[in-house]
Structure 1
Amino acid sequence: MSILVEQGGLLTTVQDRGRRGWQQYGVPVAGAMDQQAMMLANLLVDNDEGEAVLEATVLGPALRFQTANVFAVTGGDLSPQLNGQVIPMYRAVAAGAGDKLTFGGLKTGFRAYIAFAGGLDVPLVMNSRSTHLRGKFGGYEGRRLMPGDEIGFAAPRPTLPNLPARRCDPEEIPGAELWLRVIRGPQDKAFTPKGLDTFFSSEYTITNECDRTGAKLEGSGIEHVKDGNIISDGIAFGSVQVPSNGQPIIMLADRLPTGGYTKIATVISVDIPRLAQSKPGTKIRFREVSVQQAQDLYVQAMGRRRELAQRIRGAAVAADVRRFLVRLEGREYQVSVERCE
């Protein structure tokens, strides 16, 4: 009950929500770069939203199904194909034993997420199946997937109730320009008024020095009061560090738990998926929002996802229920029968 990796793609790893609760011990979080795409992929195949998926960057893998199972692809469009036929994104698809999932090339975005019904059978390491590449632990042997790797399915499902209803609209994929909303600080006092104005009024470009740890930006230098060094403190997903050279770095999923550079701002949670789908060369500008605004936007996003989950699951259940009028001893009864696998 598994998939065989025939080609690993440029960078394909096992990721879930991340290794949370261990930063105090110096353990990085890791996890999916685009958490929204990961959660939607799992929702489409009837998994828990935080179940482990495959994250593919730029060039997707070639996977051979050894066992029939349902899967879904979300996030960046890397041109998924099943047995050479183009398949839609953001839709549950049934694959049979021997079928081959491949990717033709990058169309939009930067990272795709592949979820499999029942989840992937890889070990839990500190309550997570996520791969941390620099630490060489978690996921599949702590590394990217390579030809010949075989990953088991935990509980494969050859079909799901009302498969055609398991679909949703694609998420917004950024183009060549991206506005990111940020909360100022925590070290905003380490920058001059001119430096703060530069940060919020200038355009920055994602450089080729961009990976799962962080995205280095290039643009107008941001002026410090002294320099960019501080006593190391905690780093959040989306923290914008500014070293003494004045060039910002946005810290991402594989960031270390602490760092010693001043942080001018933090990208809000709902904008991180768009950042995760942005490739080198993308132009970025920053817009300040309050903590309350960021929280309101997060609550709204969670509400939309709950509504989507109810719609998908409700449609699947409704389509698999049969209703009958039964007459028994002169009385009529409305009976509903739901098919169970």
Structure 2
Amino acid sequence: MEVLRPGLHTTVQDAGRRARALGVPGGGAADGTARRLANALVGNPGAAPGLELTLLGPALRFDAPALISLCGAPFAATLDGAPLPLWRAVAVAAGQTLDVRGAPAGVRAFLAVRGGLLGQEVFGSCATDLRSGFGGLAGRALRAGDRLIWGPALPAPAPRAVPAPGLHTPVGPHHRLRVRPTPDLTPALAASLCGPPFTVSAQADRMGARLSEAVPAPHEPARPSVPNVPGLLQLPPDGRPIVLLPDAGTHGGYPTPLVVIQADHPRLAQLRPGDRVQFEEVSLAAARHALLAQERALRQAETALRHWYARP
């Protein structure tokens, strides 16, 4: 397919890379739920590379027949002028144009193509790392005139099944993020962070989302660097918290009093400037239960769609 319009920030992403011990961010699609379901809908493995769309989508002309799905934030999309349904597989004929515009809520969506997109693989992943300049399409976002290809796959009709709406990643403008405390959390910080809502500022990208309201930050001039993971809440000296996303560095020296539980990581991908965020501390047992329930539901959907494509 040819890129007629690249969109605001469209990159090739997959499930990310396991190279954090080398100082390389994991990366990958920020909304893992959208990635897995979009791939399942077209018969791909859950980690297959596709396109991550951000705020304003691309226009793509298909030069060959394809089976696609678009999952995530509710982007307005058309195929040759006709509305394209989200969260389902859609057959595309050679010569048709997919035009994805903006979304009224949320930030990101994932476009999967049956066969999976082909890209530059680094450390076992095709995820685009913009700051390092590798992975995906030469380590950069899409540009007009780029051509993308996908791997071989047997032709298949689009399944009529669609994921249950309860599996969709919630979008804003209000977010309740469940968190666990770290040793950096003090009673004073707990009262400041797990109370009134925060506002997502305009300083938000794949590294992290800065919140507008400040809290009293502890003064630790000789603090050593510690490991970072997506979902950590950093407190820089100005007291404005930063929620880390997939492209965040692997270590840092700021206090990190809270970490968003893994089940809520897909919601981090949909934090839009102006959205309101509240943190709610939960028990370790509750965090595990939420993750197991989410994983069970996703695997059931993936298995059902896999059986569709496996039938004779």
Same fold (TM over 0.5): yes
Matched, 1:204 2:202: no
Distance in 2, Cα, partners of 1:304 & 1:175:
22
Report deviation, 1:140: 0.3
Distance in 2, Cα, partners of 1:229 & 1:102:
51
Q: For CA contacts below 8 A with separation 6 or more, give which structure has more relative contact order.
A: 2
2:8 aligned to 7, 10, 29, which one?
Answer: 10
Matched, 1:160 2:130: no
CA distance 1:172–1:214, change in 2 (3 Å): closer
Matched, 1:54 2:51: yes
Report SS of the residue matched to 1:179.
Answer: strand
Two-structure CA RMSD over aligned residues (Å): 1.6
CA distance 1:121–1:174, change in 2 (3 Å): closer
The 8 Å contact of residues 180 and 259 in structure 2, kept in 1 or not, is answered as yes
1:54-101 CA distance string (max 9 Å, x none): 001011001111111101000011111111110110110111111111
Distance in 1, Cα, partners of 2:258 & 2:4:
42
CA distance 1:228–1:129, change in 2 (3 Å): farther
TM-score normalised according to structure 2 size: 0.94
Moved over 3 A (4+): 226-229, 313-317
Aligned to 2:91: 94
Aligned to 2:164: 169
Distance in 2, Cα, partners of 1:13 & 1:300:
30
Q: Pick the structure with more strand per residue.
A: 1
Report SS of the residue matched to 2:107.
Answer: strand
- AA paired with 2:249? L
- AA paired with 2:71? T
1:151 aligned to 125, 148, 151, which one?
Answer: 148
After the TM superposition, which residues 1-341 of structure 1 pair with which residues of structure 2 at under 5 Å, given as runs? 3-20=1-18, 22-157=19-154, 159-161=155-157, 163-170=158-165, 171-188=168-185, 191=186, 193-224=187-218, 226-227=219-220, 230-315=223-308, 338=312
Distance in 2, Cα, partners of 1:216 & 1:229:
24
Identity of aligned residues (%): 35
Distance in 2, Cα, partners of 1:271 & 1:147:
34
Higher-Rg member (1/2): 1
Structure 1, unaligned runs of 5 or more? 321-337
Distance in 1, Cα, partners of 2:104 & 2:125:
31
- AA paired with 2:164? D
TM-score normalised according to structure 1 size: 0.87
The 8 Å contact of residues 43 and 305 in structure 2, kept in 1 or not, is answered as no
The 8 Å contact of residues 179 and 282 in structure 2, kept in 1 or not, is answered as yes
Aligned residues: 310
Report SS of the residue matched to 1:115.
Answer: strand
Structure 2, unaligned runs of 5 or more? none
Report SS of the residue matched to 1:137.
Answer: coil
- AA paired with 1:42? N
